[in-house]
Amino acid sequence: MPQEVDLFVIGAGSGGVRASRIASGYGAKVMVAEEYRYGGTCVIRGCVPKKLLVYASRFAEEFEDAAGFGWTLDKPSFDWTKLIANKDKEIDRLEKAYMSTLERAKVATVRSRAVIVDPHTVRLEATGETVKAKHILIATGGTPSLGKEIEGYEHIISSNEAFHLTELPKRILIQGGGYIAVEFAGIFNGLGSDVTLVYRGDNILRGFDEDVRSHLRGEMEKRGIKIVTKAIVEGIEKVDHGLCVMLSDHADVVVDKVMFATGRRPNVAGLGLEVAGVKLDKKGAIEVNEFSQTSVPHIYAVGDVTDRIALTPVAIREGHAFADTVFGGKPTRIDHRDVPTAVFSEPECGVIGLTEAEACERLAKVDIYKSSFRPMKATLSGRDTRTFMKLVVDGENGRVVGCHIVGPDAGEMIQLVGIAVKMKATKADFDATMAVHPTAAEELVTMREKASSHVRGAAAAAE
Ligand code: NDP
């Protein structure tokens, strides 16, 4: 007789783990299967190890900046192998913590690929056993998408492999202009690699505010990252001293590693979705309604596999809301508007809400406040860097509808600005808040002069 559960969760990443734990807390009998490692992309090969590498990469600037503050340091040296070993130890610890959290929550865990074999049955590939489930939750995340096969495709690595390189590449070329490309460009550059970033469009971080894009690009270039735009990698050839990368309309570049950060696709292959009748959208993501319910009423999906907003905290909220809805008797929708986000580039970006261009499209009147200033630390360090901040304000009611920051600790700042924006704070509320001095964040409550005003149908006017 197959085992029977109330909920079978496929994938123990951020969304799947949260959903399992909360559903079990409501008294459901829950089993979760994970084919790789507990914790999923965020913990095992995403946000967490990435942030550890970001910390490592930032010491280089700290060492340089220290001189202006009176410090004399011996020439610092860096050991990649030690960093990776320490990072792996921490990831192992976190994986165990995830497993014990599930065990404490009385969730049955299995390490196996799970495949849907009929709408209420899942087969565990590791043992061949089948499990009957009243509900199934698909939380299988995403996987790097490297684009079409080009010559030398076998030489391309994704972020998955970047976390496990045996040595730090002296020269690396990264293709892509999104989160992962700019974050890894900063990491490798900080650690001492010679970095070339190749992006097919006009400028990195498409979809972000134009000022953020140009400010970040300038700062990355100041730090020595070569950014080649309007180009794609056409082929890669192994040569004596490395890999020769052929670019469209540009000279070849010779490097030691080639990494593609060209987006991620939903992890749906071979899951048996067709057997169950679960519909996919045009991009191959699982189609869900506002309660994360798929086209099959007892099958749900959360996180990157649904390609709504591919961010860990969003997957966690979706997983929690699913459990509340299905097992807690509290139908819960997730508000996907005004989600704050950070790019851990060097320097960081923190953004929430509308860009200037989006606000101008949607609102009748838009006021823009911006500031670009030299961070206080740079006065003594002598570093050539500037912080950028921008508030996008609805000119009709004064509401702050967007905030965009590029500079140290932008991620920390935007988390808190996010509360104000979610609460529909106005520019007057920001102004009424006393500044914390001396900080960079105080600039957000002291921007008095409008940089520009836009009225729908009229040319932008600077005030
Ligand atoms: P993104 O979608 O952010 O960026 C993909 C980049 O690759 C874009 O610049 C895109 O160009 C380019 N691209 C796509 N296809 C091709 C192609 N065939 N040839 C050349 N270039 C191509 O994906 P990432 O892989 O960087 O990250 C995936 C997701 O993971 C992010 O969207 C984000 O949601 C999440 N993430 C979040 C992080 C955070 O919160 N800090 C960190 C890392 C990831 P174009 O712009 O022209 O489409």
What is the domain-level CATH number for residue 182? 3.50.50.60
Give a yes or no: residue 243 inside a domain: yes
Residues 139 and 167 in one domain: no
**17 and 101 together in one domain:** yes
Answer yes or no: do 280 and 223 share one domain. no
Q: Which value, to the nearest 10 degrees, does the dihedral of the CA atoms of residues 40, 44, 48, 52 take?
A: -170
Alpha helices in 192-252 (DSSP H): 210-222
Q: Is residue 188 part of a domain?
A: yes
Counting from 1 in the atom list of ligand 1, the atom nearest the Cα of 344 is 41
Asked if residue 244 and residue 100 are part of one domain, the reply reads no
How many angstroms is it from 153 CA to the middle of ligand 1? Answer: 19
Q: Are 138 and 206 members of one domain?
A: no
Q: 262, 290, 307: which is the final residue of a domain?
A: 262
Q: Where would I find the beta strands (DSSP E) of 220-379?
A: 226-229, 233-239, 242-247, 253-255, 257-260, 264-266, 299-301, 341-343, 349-353, 365-373
Residue 335 domain flag: no
| Pocket of ligand 1 contains residue 206 by CB under 6 Å | yes
Is there a domain that residue 384 lies in?
yes
Nearest ligand 1 atom, CA 206: 46
From atom 15 of ligand 1, which residue's Cα is the shortest distance away?
262
Estimate to the nearest angstrom the gap between the alpha carbon of 391 and the chain centroid. 22
Which pLDDT belongs to residue 250?
87
Domain span including residue 89: 3-143+265-326
The answer on 134 and 10 residing in a single domain is yes
In a domain, residue 71? The reply is yes
Query: Can you give the pLDDT at residue 458?
Result: 76
Residue 391's DSSP bridge partners are 369, 403
Ligand 1 center–CA 309 separation, angstroms? 12
176 Cα: distance to centroid of ligand 1 (angstroms): 6
| CA-closest residue to ligand 1 atom 25 | 263
Q: Would you mind telling me the total number of residues written for the chain in this entry?
A: 463
Residues 115 and 164 reside in one and the same domain: no
Is the distance from the beta carbon of residue 339 to the nearest atom of ligand 1 less than 6 Å?
no
Q: Is the CB of 313 under 6 A from ligand 1?
A: no
Residue 426 tokens, joined? 């106005």
Q: For residue 461, is it within any domain?
A: no
pLDDT at 461: 59
Q: Assess whether the C-beta atom of 341 lies below 6 angstroms from ligand 1.
A: yes
* Token pair of 329 as six digits: 């008797």
Helices H / strands E in the chain, number of each: 13, 23
Q: How far is CA 261 from the centre of its chain?
A: 12
Count of the separate structural domains present in the chain: 3
Q: What is the pLDDT of residue 1?
A: 78
Residue 437 annotated to the active site:
yes
231 lines ligand 1 (CB under 6 A): no
With beta carbons less than 8 A apart as the criterion, state whether 135 and 8 touch: yes
Q: Does residue 284's CB lie within 6 angstroms of at least one atom of ligand 1?
A: no
Domain boundary among 294, 326, 358: 326
Residues 6+ away with beta carbon under 8 Å from 205: 177, 178, 182, 212, 213, 216, 343, 349
CA distances from 77 to 63, 80, 165, 223, 434 (A): 11, 10, 18, 19, 43
- Whether 400 is in the pocket of ligand 1, judged by its Cβ within 6 Å, is no
Pocket flag, ligand 1, residue 180 (CB < 6 Å) = yes
**CA pair distance 193, 100, nearest whole angstrom:** 38
The alpha carbon of 158 and the centre of ligand 1 are apart by a number of angstroms equal to 12
Q: Clarify whether residues 158 and 301 are in a common domain.
A: no
- The CB of 343 under 6 Å from ligand 1? The reply is yes
Same domain for 157 and 242: yes
Nearest to 410 by CA among 452, 449, 439: 439
pLDDT (0 to 100) of residue 221:
98
Q: Are residues 128 and 277 in the same domain?
A: yes
Whether 270 and 136 map to the same domain: the answer is yes
Atom of ligand 1 nearest to the CA of 311: 34
Mean pLDDT by 10-residue block, N- to C-terminus, for the chain (463 residues)? Answer: 94 98 98 97 98 98 98 95 98 97 97 98 97 98 97 98 98 98 98 98 98 98 98 98 95 97 97 97 97 98 98 98 98 96 98 98 98 98 98 98 98 98 98 98 97 85 53
Q: Does residue 256 sit within a domain?
A: yes
Looking at ligand 1, which atom is closest to the CA of residue 312? 40
Which SS3 state, helix, strand or coil, does residue 372 take? strand
Asked if 70 and 162 sit in the same domain, the reply is no
Q: Which residues pair with 135 in a beta bridge?
A: 7
Q: Is residue 308 part of a domain?
A: yes
Catalytic residue among 164, 250, 404, 437: 437
The three-class DSSP label of residue 206 is coil
Q: Which of 179, 265, 406 to mutate to test the pocket of ligand 1 (most atoms within 8 A of CB)?
A: 179
Q: Which ligand 1 atom lies nearest to the CA of residue 177?
A: 9
Residue finishing a domain among 301, 326, 351: 326
How many whole angstroms from 199 Cα to the centroid of ligand 1?
11
The alpha carbons of the chain give a radius of gyration, in whole angstroms, of 24
